Amino acid sequence: MRRPRKNFSPGARFRRAVDRRRAAHSCRHLYRAAAWENSVPTVKARLAAIRHLFDWLVVGHVVPVNPAASVRGPRYVAKKGKTPVLSPDEARRLLDSIDVSTDIGLRDRALIGLMVYSFARVGTALAMKVEDVSVQNRRLWVRLHEKGGKHHELPCHHNLEYRR
């Protein structure tokens, strides 16, 4: 009679493969696999996915340790943003093209004007309340609630203030 085979599930095979390698070798292998002919943000995203996969495998007791935990991706600093900025003429044409004879047109012009003149995000502009707009020393000020719980108080641009 044949002896039954043990641990031939995909998880067991994977565990044996990882156990055979040292953590440092696994880390080097993971970094090379993620970095092969890719941009820095792609490498960082792939390493994060691999880290999360190994975290899940550790929690499921498939592998004893996460070999990707110590792998650090390359540094990446974005020096210049990719967001296009409207020229003053384009901003003026955009705001003048909105029909202000309806309440919806007034709302749209106010939101777009706020985003153009204060560089606020869409979510920030939509989250504003009436109490976030105030007058200080004859100047209109807005309080923006940004991502991450940050608050910014800034004076309105004179063109935005004029359009009240």
Backbone angles phi, psi at 142, to 5 degrees: -125, 145
pLDDT, one tens digit per residue, over 46-74 is: 888 888 988 988 898 888 888 888 777 77
Residue 30 has a pLDDT of 60
- With tokens 């919806």, the residue in question is 104
Average model confidence (pLDDT) for the chain?
Answer: 78
Q: Please tell me the total number of residues recorded for the chain in this structure.
A: 164
Q: Which of 61, 80, 99 finishes a domain?
A: 80
User: Are 95 and 57 in a shared domain?
Assistant: no
CB-neighbour burial class of residue 142 (10 A; exposed 0-12, middle 13-18, buried 19+) = buried
Query: Percent of the chain having pLDDT more than 90?
Result: 10
- With tokens 């899940």, the residue in question is 56
Inside any domain, residue 2 = no
The model's confidence at residue 42, banded by pLDDT at 50, 70 and 90, is confident
* Torsion, Cα of 115, 116, 121, 124 (10° steps): -20
CATH code for position 111: 1.10.443.10
Residue 41 has a pLDDT of 82
Mean pLDDT of 10-31: 58
Least confident of 31-40, 46-55, 89-98, 154-163: 31-40
Task: Report the number of distinct structural domains present in the chain.
Answer: 2
